[in-house]
Chains A and B, each alone.
Chain A
Amino acid sequence: MADLRIDFAGVRSPNPFWLASAPPSNSGAQVHRAFEAGWGGAVWKTIGAPVLNVSNRYGAWHYGGQKMLAINNVELISDRPLEVNLREIADVKRHWPDRAVVVSAMVESKVEAWRDIVRRIEDSGADAMELNYGCPHGMSERGMGSAVGQVPEYCERITGWVKDAARIPVIVKLTPNITNIVHPARAALSAGADGLSLINTLNSIVGVDLERLEVTPSIGGKGGHGGYAGPAVKPIALNMLAALGTDGVIGGSAAPISGMGGISNWRDAAEFLLLGAASLQVCTAVMHFGFRIIEDLCDGLSNWMDAKGFLSVAEVRGKALRGISDFKDFDLAFRAVARIDPARCIRCNLCYVACNDTAHQCIDLIAADGRVVEPYSYDARSNGRQEAVGSRPQPRVREQDCVGCRLCYNVCPVEKCIEMVELPPCRESVTWDEISKKQPEVTQDWEAMERYRKAQGIHIH
C-alpha cells in the first residue's frame, strides 16, 4: 500500500487532500465532519477584515445535462466573527493533532493589520497560514485579495511583513487572474514564503438570463464578475502549476506548492502531483458532492500508486514536468496519423464531419464494396433498419493525407476506437529552434520556407 502521508513545508497530514479555503471549511463543525470523513487537512475559510455577504452568491455553468462543470461566486471571506473562527480553529486543532490545519487570512494592506492577524492565528494553534492574494471580487475592490496578487511588489511587501511576524510556515495563495503567474510567485518566495498555493478563482461572468436579459445570478437586479472554479478550470490550473515547476527560480527552490483548481477525483489529483503539487486542495467537488468524496480520492490514488510502483506521494511529485517543453523544442519530424478500428467503430461519422469540415478532409466513407461514397447518398425511398445499417459506409482515414492533428481522436465517442499511430519519421529530427539558428531565413521568409519544404519533402495540402 502506497504511503499517502505528506510533509508540506513542515506541515504534516495523513494524506495530501486538504479542503480548500472556502465554504466547506467555513466552521468548526464542518471541519470536524470533514476530518471524520478522512480529509487530511483543511485550509480554513479566509478570516480577516469584516464583511457582509449577499444572497444568490453562487452561479454555475452546466453543460449538456451535466451539472456544475464550474461554479462562480461573489462570496467574500468569512462573515463570521473573527473570535468565533479563532476559537473553533483552536478546538479543531486540539481534536485533530494529526491533521493539517491551515488558516487563510486576508486583512487590509497595513503592516499592523497583518501583524495582528498573524499573532491571533498563531495563538489558535494552527499549523500554518495561507495568505489569500486571490479573491477576485469584492475584497479586491477594497485593495485586498487579487488586488495584491496581481502586483508582484505588493505580494512581496505583504509577504515580507507576515514573514517578519510569523513563526509558523507561510503559504502564499496566488491569483490566476494575471498574465504571467511566475512573477507574483517569485515575489512571494523572495520575501521568504515557505510555500505557494494555486489557483484561486478566475474572473468570470457565468451567464446571461435569456428571459430577464440580465447576467446571472441576479443579485436584486444586478450582477457582475465572480470567481470561477471547478472541473472547467483544471487545465488552467495545471498550466500554471507547470509554469511554476519549470521556472528555474521557483522549481529550483525548496518551496512546495499546494495545487488546486478543478480537482474532482483521484485522477485529477494524480495529474496535479505529477506536475509538481505537494499537497492538493479541493473546493467545488466537495460543494457538489459533500465530504464523502475523500474516500475515492485516497483509495483511487493509492491503488494507482501501487499499480505504478510509487511508494510515496513525494515520489510522484513533479514526475511529468520533465516532458514540458516549449513549442520551439518540439520535434517537427515527429509523425502520427489517425487510424480507425472498424471493429469498435459505431459509424456515427462524427470524425468524418469534424475532419471534413474543420480539419484536413482526409477521412473517406467506404461502402461495403470498397467504393468511396458521399454522405447522404441513399435514395429517398430507401429506409428501414436493415437498409440503413446494412448500407452504412465505414469511415477510413487516408493516412497519406492525415496531418495527425488529432481532432477526430478527440471527437470519437468510443473508447480506443481511433488511435493516433506513431509512424517512423520521413526526415531527420529537427526543432524550430534549430532551424532558426541554422537557417534563420526559413523562419522569416515564405520563399525560403518553400525551398526548405521542397528539400525536406514536406507537402501540405
Chain B
Amino acid sequence: MPHSQDTPLAELLPPLSEHEALVEANRCLFCYDAPCTHACPTHIDVPRFIKKISTGNTLGSARTILEANLLGATCARVCPVEELCEGACVLGAEHKPITIGRLQRYSMDFVYGGDVQVFGPVRATGKKVAVVGAGAAGLACAGELARRGHAVVLFEKRELAGGLSTYGIIGLREPVAVAQAEIEMIRRLGVEIRNGVELCRDVALADLQAQFDAVFISVGLGGAPALGIPGEEHIVDGLEYIEQSKMDAGMLRVGRRAAVIGAGNTAIDCATVAKRLGAEEVTIVYRRSESEVSAYRHEMEFVRKEGVDFCFLAQPVKVHAPEDRVTALECLRMSLGAVDTSGRPAPVAVAGSEFVLAVDQVIKAIGQQKPPLAQALGLKTQRGYIDVNAEFETSARNVFAGGDCIRASGVCSTVMAVQDGKLAARAIEKRLGS
C-alpha cells in the first residue's frame, strides 16, 4: 500500500519497513496455543503468521491471516489491539507486547501492494447465497462462501461497498483505498457485488428467499438518534461528518470552535477530524464523568494529545442559532446518581445550572440507532436487534444474520463482524450440504 502522510487525515502509522518487521517478528516467542490467538475474535494463528514473516514467507503469512480473517488488512488497522491480541501477549507483562497489528498489516500490504493472488480457483458447488449489506460481516460471509465454490450475490444499498470501513472509520486509521482493495479481493474470489440495491426498497426478503438457497443479512445499524433538543436541525451528524472527511474533505464545513456531543469512539473520531481539519477549539461534551466514558483509554489519550478538550457532566439542552448561524451550545450541569440500567451511575441534572459553550459548530456522536430493518423484515428481534441462534440463523429458516445488526450486547467492532460472517458462512455451508 502506498503511504503518504501529507494530508491531515492520512493514515497515522507508517508501515513497518522490512527490517522493523523482521526484528519485531523475531521477538515473538512463538507461543503454543497462544493467548493472542485466543484473544483475537477471528482466532488468527498469530505466532504462525509472525513466524512466517521472520522466515521471509510473507505470502504464507498473508494466507495464514486471510484463512482466519478475510478482512485482515482492515482489522490490522482498526482493531482495538490493546483489548484484543496485543493485550493478551505474554510479553506484555514485563516487556512491550509484540505489535501484532502492525505485523499483520505488513503481510497484508504485501498482498495488496503487490497484487498478489492468495487463493486459487475453486470448483462451483451450484449453491446460491444472497448477502445483504457489504460491511465487514457481509464481505467476510460472502468471501468465505465464494472461497468454497458457492455463488454469492452481495447486495449493497450504497454506491461503495465496505460499510463503515469505507464511510465511517476515519482515514487516520484506515484509508478508503485499503477497504476498497480488500473488496476487490472479495470480488476476485467470485462474489458479485450489486451496489445501489436496498433490501425492502428495491428487493424484498421473500424474493431473495425464492431465488437463493440461503440469505445472510448484515445491514449494520442506523443513523444517529435524535437528541430531542431545540435547535437540533443545526446539529451535524457525526457519521456524516466523518463520511464527508473521507470522501471529500475539502467540502467539509469545519467550525472554528466545535462541540462534539458524546464520548464514545465515534465522538473521539469526530473531534480528531475537526481538530485536524483546522478547528481551533474542539470540546467533547459528555453528560457523565470521565470514568463512565465508553471510548477506549488509548483513544482518550490520543485525542488529548491532539489538543481536544473535555467538558464532563454537561447535558446539552439547546443549540443557539440566531439567523441560522450556530453561536453556542447551552448545557446543564449534571451530577452522578444511582446506577442505571447500563450499569453506570445515572447523570442527574443540577437544577438551574445552565451554562453556554460558545461554539459555531455542534456535532453529535451519540451512537447509532438499532437496525431499522429489524422490524420491517418481520424477523424475531431481541432488544431491537435481529435475533439469531447459535448458528446465526434468524427466526426464518435459511435466513441468517450477523454483524452489528445482531449485537444486542457487547461492543461492536469490525473484527467481531468478520467472525460473525465467517461462522455464519460455515453454518450456511453446513445447511446447504444437507
Question: Contact residues of A with B, CB < 8 Å?
Answer: 64-65, 346-350, 352-353, 365, 375-376, 378, 380-385, 387-389, 391-392, 413
Contact = CB atoms under 8 A, between A and B. Distances in A.
B186 to A, nearest CB: 22
B39 A383 contact: yes
A383 B39 CA distance: 4
A385 B93 CA distance: 12
Contacts of B29: 348, 350, 413
B25 to A, nearest CB: 8
Contacts of A384: 39, 41, 83-84, 87-88
Contact of B26 (A64, A348, A376): A64
B22 interface: yes
Contacts of B93: 346
A376 B88 contact: no
Interface string B192-221: 000000000000000000000000000000
B90 A348 contact: yes
Given A65-B22, A347-B90, A383 B33 contact: no
Contact of A383 (B23, B38, B82, B94): B38
B33 A349 contact: yes
Given A65-B22, A65-B23, A347 B35 contact: yes
Given A365-B33, A385-B84, 15 more contacts: A64-B26, A65-B23, A347-B35, A348-B29, A348-B34, A349-B34, A350-B29, A375-B33, A380-B423, A381-B423, A383-B43, A383-B84, A383-B419, A384-B87, A391-B38
B54 interface: yes
Contact of B38 (A64, A65, A365, A388): A388
Interface of B: 22-23, 26, 29-36, 38-41, 43, 54, 82-84, 87-88, 90-91, 93-94, 416, 419, 423
25 contacts: A65-B22, A346-B90, A346-B91, A346-B94, A348-B90, A349-B34, A350-B29, A353-B32, A375-B33, A381-B423, A383-B40, A383-B43, A383-B84, A384-B39, A384-B41, A384-B83, A384-B88, A385-B39, A385-B82, A385-B83, A385-B87, A387-B39, A388-B38, A391-B38, A413-B29
Contacts of A388: 35-36, 38-39, 88
Contacts of B40: 383
Nearest to A391: B38
A382 B91 contact: no
Given A346-B90, A383-B39, A388-B88, A64 B31 contact: no
Contacts of B22: 65
A65 B54 contact: yes
Q: Which 6 A-B pairs have the closest CB atoms?
A: A385-B87, A65-B26, A388-B39, A375-B33, A353-B32, A388-B38
Contacts of A347: 35, 90
Contacts of A413: 29
B285 to A, nearest CB: 30
B32 A387 contact: no
A375 B31 CA distance: 12
B43 A349 contact: no
Nearest to B30: A350
A387 B26 contact: no
Contacts of B91: 346
A123 B40 CA distance: 74
A350 B87 CA distance: 19
A64 B22 CA distance: 9
B87 A349 contact: no
B32 A385 contact: no
A391 B93 CA distance: 16
A319 B170 CA distance: 67
B86 to A, nearest CB: 8
- Chain A CB count within 10 A is highest, among B34, B91, B94, for B34
Nearest to A383: B41
Contacts of A378: 38
B284 to A, nearest CB: 26
Contact of A64 (B39, B54, B84, B416): B54
A365 B29 CA distance: 18
Contact of A376 (B23, B33, B87, B90): B33
A385 B88 contact: yes
A384 B80 CA distance: 10
A347 B416 CA distance: 26
A376 B23 CA distance: 28
A182 B181 CA distance: 67
B43 A380 contact: yes
B53 to A, nearest CB: 11
Contacts of A346: 90-91, 93-94
Given A346-B90, A380-B423, A387 B43 contact: no
B83 A348 contact: no
A65 B32 CA distance: 21
- Chain A CB count within 10 A is highest, among B31, B83, B91, B423, for B31
Contacts of B54: 64-65
Nearest to A392: B35
A278 to B, nearest CB: 39
B423 to A, nearest CB: 7
B38 A387 contact: yes
Nearest to B43: A380
A351 to B, nearest CB: 9
B407 to A, nearest CB: 12
- Chain B CB count within 10 A is highest, among A353, A389, A413, for A389
A95 B238 CA distance: 80
B95 to A, nearest CB: 10
A380 B88 CA distance: 16
Nearest to B93: A346
A401 B111 CA distance: 48
A350 B88 CA distance: 16
- Chain A CB count within 10 A is highest, among B36, B88, B91, for B88
A53 to B, nearest CB: 31
A396 to B, nearest CB: 15
Contacts of B33: 349, 352, 365, 375-376
A376 B423 CA distance: 18
B412 to A, nearest CB: 14
Given A383-B38, A387-B39, A350 B31 contact: yes
A144 to B, nearest CB: 40
